[in-house]
Amino acid sequence: MNGAESLVRTLVDSEVDVCFTNPGTSEMHFVAALDRVPGMRCVLGLFEGVATGAADGYYRMSGRPAATLLHLGPGLANGLANLHNARRAGSGIVNIVGDHATYHQQYDAPLASDCAGVARPMSHWVHSSASAQAVAADGATAVQVARTAPGQIATLILPADTAWNEAKAAAPALPVPARPEVDSSAVDAAARLLLADGPNALLLGGVALRAESLEIAGRIAAKTGCRLLAENMNARLQRGAGRVQVQRIPYPVEQAVAMLADLRGLVQVGSKPPVGFFAYPDKPSILTPDDCTLTVMGTAADDLHAALEALAEAVGAGSGVAPAHTAELARPQIPGGALTPESVGLVLAALMPEQAIIVDEAVTTGRGFHAPTAVAAPHEWLSSRGGAIGYCLPCATGAAVACPDRKVIALSGDGSAMYTVQSLWTMARESLDVLVLVFANRGYQILRGELKGVGVADPGPNAVRMLTVDQPVLDFVALASGQGIAAERVTDVDGLVAAMRRGLGERGPRLIEVVLP
């Protein structure tokens, strides 16, 4: 077997059996090996950002890394923005990046670039295989790195000759490192804080946002009166009926500061300290008040579920305590009339099926969705952890590959959808069960607020022209059908309801362009 085959075998043996790819010449041996090694599902994307974003979504929903297969430095570069999002989300990914043959690199051929340099800003681990003999062991190490909690970005550069030269064998899977236990002193500190005068809060992140951990947090809240908070954007939040609810810290700095203004203590459980998404003139970077005590009970890499159990015990919130903040199912009445962020949120809450996977990049339109859906059927809510635009459609693609039996609902702004619009083709090709809603407000609406936020009260015509996407208007029905996806446009609530019922009533990809006034 050659190096490429030894790598594919190693990946499959290490339980990495999905590969999102956009390959080129330097990856041809890996591609050819797919027909000699059973068990690797290869999913083609027409742009590399689709592949990396799909690997992110796949990890979030499966808990297992996918591989990506990318073409030299520029192909990797095209995938970097969604690797940034994945890194921030704690998603494990094994990037395989083909490069020029080792002996060819000295000639500085047109596609030569500093692959490792391109990889480094968005990778936890970067390694270039030295020989075909080394490739299998390098691949096993890459998987181990990717599977290290909370999930890491491992980039393995594969010079073409290390793929085509003769190798010995696949490498055995390496053990997956266990999540470190949280130190008992950190649990004790958290308990003391929560038992002191409040208001206090748990700020939950990472796997602490799964239902079984939230249930413990709900017991702790019932016992101590603490609030349950989450950051604004989370990799995977389990919510809806029957689950303990958390409040997300709002994106606008003023609203966030107001929400946290009276806090005396905050316990971070897999979350970062609350800071502004951006800085603005004369607004604070830190969102908690100066006299609020912050304590860290575990990072995103730690065993947060066990830490919460220990904390519950420490505050006397054992399994006999009924959790606070448990959501009861309350599907809203469907409103009539015009499409607004609020009416769309109600329709979504009313119609979303049980165990739906919501992938949210609705930006401004989506800010109204959170409240009504909190009491909808139980579901998952995936947000962009890294804030790099263009994560939604790829992430939905990967989530659908990971969970073929669940409906994925992608909520995207029109501006956001265009960054990685090629995802629609992969959804069609793989018959993925994704309902895409594109909210067409025909502009980078968020930036109008941001202009004000940075102190520009009255933007002139040139500035406004940089924030609007209305000349020409994008036709997402055409953009979807051009990639093999059934699509329709709706302009009122009745139309949206009918279109969503059609989309939810069948399997397979479908797009609805939701035109907002």
Q: Which residues ranging from 331 to 390 are in contact with a second copy (CB under 8 A)? A: 384-390
Residues from 429 through 468 that contact a second copy (CB under 8 A): 429, 446-447, 450-451, 453-456, 459-463, 465-467
Please identify, using beta-carbon distances, which residue of 20 and 351 lies nearer to a second copy. Answer: 20
Q: Which stretch binds a second copy (CB under 8 A): 136-144, 205-213, 271-279, 363-371?
A: 271-279
Q: Which stretch binds a second copy (CB under 8 A): 29-37, 313-321, 374-382, 433-441?
A: 29-37
Exactly one of 196, 279, 371, 498 binds a second copy (CB under 8 A); which one? 279
Please identify, using beta-carbon distances, which residue of 58 and 476 lies nearer to a second copy. Answer: 476
Exactly one of 3, 49, 139, 345 binds a second copy (CB under 8 A); which one? 49
β-pairing, 227-230 vs 200-204, is: parallel
Does residue 290 bind a second copy (CB under 8 A)? no
d(CA 514, CA 409): 14
Residues from 165 through 224 that contact a second copy (CB under 8 A): none
β-pairing, 379-383 vs 237-239, is: antiparallel
Please identify, using beta-carbon distances, which residue of 276 and 289 lies nearer to a second copy. Answer: 276
Burial class (CB in 10 A: 0-12, 13-18, 19+), 381: buried
Burial class (CB in 10 A: 0-12, 13-18, 19+), 461: exposed
| # binding residues, a second copy (CB under 8 A) | 102
d(CA 81, CA 392): 12
> To the nearest whole angstrom, how small is the minimum distance from the Cβ of residue 228 to a second copy?
21
Exactly one of 168, 180, 482, 498 binds a second copy (CB under 8 A); which one? 482
Token representation of residue 90:
């704690």
Residues from 236 through 265 that contact a second copy (CB under 8 A): none
Does residue 29 bind a second copy (CB under 8 A)? yes
| Sheet of strand 153-159, all strands in order from the earlier edge strand to the far edge | 41-44, 18-21, 66-71, 93-99, 153-159, 125-128
Largest pairwise CA distance in the chain? 70
> To the nearest whole angstrom, how small is the minimum distance from the Cβ of residue 73 to a second copy?
6
Amino acid at 9: R
Please identify, using beta-carbon distances, which residue of 244 and 424 lies nearer to a second copy. Answer: 424
Does residue 164 bind a second copy (CB under 8 A)? yes
DSSP 175: P
Q: Say if residues 388 and 363 touch (Cβ distance below 8 Å).
A: no
Does residue 489 bind a second copy (CB under 8 A)? no
Does residue 278 bind a second copy (CB under 8 A)? yes
Exactly one of 60, 100, 219, 243 binds a second copy (CB under 8 A); which one? 100
- Could you tell me the CA-to-CA distances from 409 to 6, 244, 262, 358, 362 in Å, in that order? 37, 22, 36, 5, 11
Plot region of 325 (φ>0 → left; ψ -120 to 50 → alpha; else → beta): left
Give the long-range contacts of residues 32-35, CB within 8 A, separation 24 or more.
32/4, 33/2, 33/4, 33/5, 33/7, 33/8, 34/8
d(CA 437, CA 512): 5
Site string (59-98) toward a second copy, x via CB under 8 A: --------------xxx-xx-xx--xx--x----------
> To the nearest whole angstrom, how small is the minimum distance from the Cβ of residue 277 to a second copy?
6
Site string (392-431) toward a second copy, x via CB under 8 A: -----------------------x--xx-xx--x--xx--
Does residue 110 bind a second copy (CB under 8 A)? yes
d(CA 419, CA 440): 14
Please identify, using beta-carbon distances, which residue of 22 and 245 lies nearer to a second copy. Answer: 22
Exactly one of 16, 132, 160, 440 binds a second copy (CB under 8 A); which one? 160
